[in-house]
Amino acid sequence: MIHPVILCGGSGTRLWPLSRVDKPKPFLPLVGKRSLFEQTLDRCVNEVIFAAPTIVTVEKHLDHVEGQLGEAAGASIIVEPMGKNTAPAIALAALRLPEDAIMLVCPSDHYIKDTAAFVSAAETASALADQGFLVSFGIKATSPETGYGYIKRGEELGVGFAVERFVEKPDLATAQSFLADGSYSWNGGIFAFKAEVFLTELANHCPQMMDALRASVEAGSKDGQRFHPDASSFAQIESDSIDYAVMETTERAAMVPVSMGWSDIGNWDALREAQNGDALGNSIKGQAELVDCTNVMIHSDGPRVSVVGLDDVIIVVDGNDVLVTTAAGTQKVGTLKGAKSQ
């Protein structure tokens, strides 16, 4: 059995004004009618392959998590006292699961089009994890993205590959060379490993974090399906990502290549690509009329949006905010006053 561990921590600014501090991205129905969090849960519903999920979240998102969790039988929720990035979040789940549990760590704010490919890769990763590897999903790179980390694959391991190295977000020329090379994949933040293997590695590289985590779990309290780690111990932890704390340093890193229509929906342009536009490339959520428009995305929570003559533009109406941006401009949305002043 694979134990899904679903991370519902952060909240970004790049999908402002739709995604806001009090209405974060995982809980929005950005593609289709179900939220990204719900779709993440849906992908791991298969009684033969998957155990009940463990959700790691923070207090302020708890209402969203419980509101959308629905029928996921036997689900556990770990409520972090505060966000400390991914390494502590995953370690909390590892400490609460059986030592030999195979964990599948999934961000809750990504979109995956091809569930069958995801499940197949999860099974492959699980087999490698069972052999003691710490496995990354290596997302097939389809463009020279500079916003993602990359994974260079090494020798074959029967199923999957060893990792030759992890690469930080590259510049465009480097990203283009990676794409041409073919042995680099995007690091999509999806991982599989045995709980005890992860904890051993984390203890090796970050012994102080590990001590604080154990203390926090020992002094924690259970409340129905929720588990609350002790806040005073947890507060002492230094924030760190799983990539820095474990994946880039371990000698047991492996990767499974996968092509599954993945997107991190990292900005409005990425969302537009994930949505299937009409024949002219336009996609509309809400009430809108488009005249002489191509590749225009509208997202309105109420007002009617009428557009004439535009190409490659994204228009979002949400509450008391209207955003109008070119596709290229979506990179700068997080720097807008509205996005920063939340």
Binding site for a second copy (CB under 8 A): 17, 289, 291-292, 300, 302-310, 313, 315, 317, 319-326, 328-330, 332-333, 335-338
Tokens representing 257 are 């290549």
* Cβ contact 317:301 at 8 Å: yes
Min dist CB 15 to a second copy, Å, is 13
Pairwise CA distance, residues 108 & 95, whole Å? 20
Of the candidates 185, 187, 192, 118, the residue with the CA atom closest to the CA atom of residue 153: 185
Q: Are strands 54-58 and 2-8 parallel, antiparallel or unpaired?
A: parallel
100 vs 289, beta carbon nearer a second copy? 289
Min dist CB 330 to a second copy, Å, is 7
Of the candidates 10, 15, 2, 58, the residue with the CA atom closest to the CA atom of residue 263: 15
241 vs 267, beta carbon nearer a second copy? 267
256 vs 327, beta carbon nearer a second copy? 327
Cα atoms found within 13 Å of the Cα of residue 274, Cβ hemisphere only = 23
Min dist CB 319 to a second copy, Å, is 8
Min dist CB 315 to a second copy, Å, is 6
207 vs 309, beta carbon nearer a second copy? 309
Min dist CB 60 to a second copy, Å, is 24
99 vs 289, beta carbon nearer a second copy? 289
Q: State the DSSP string of 56-77.
A: EEEGGGHHHHHHHHTT-TT-EE
Q: Which residue has tokens 């488009």?
A: 290
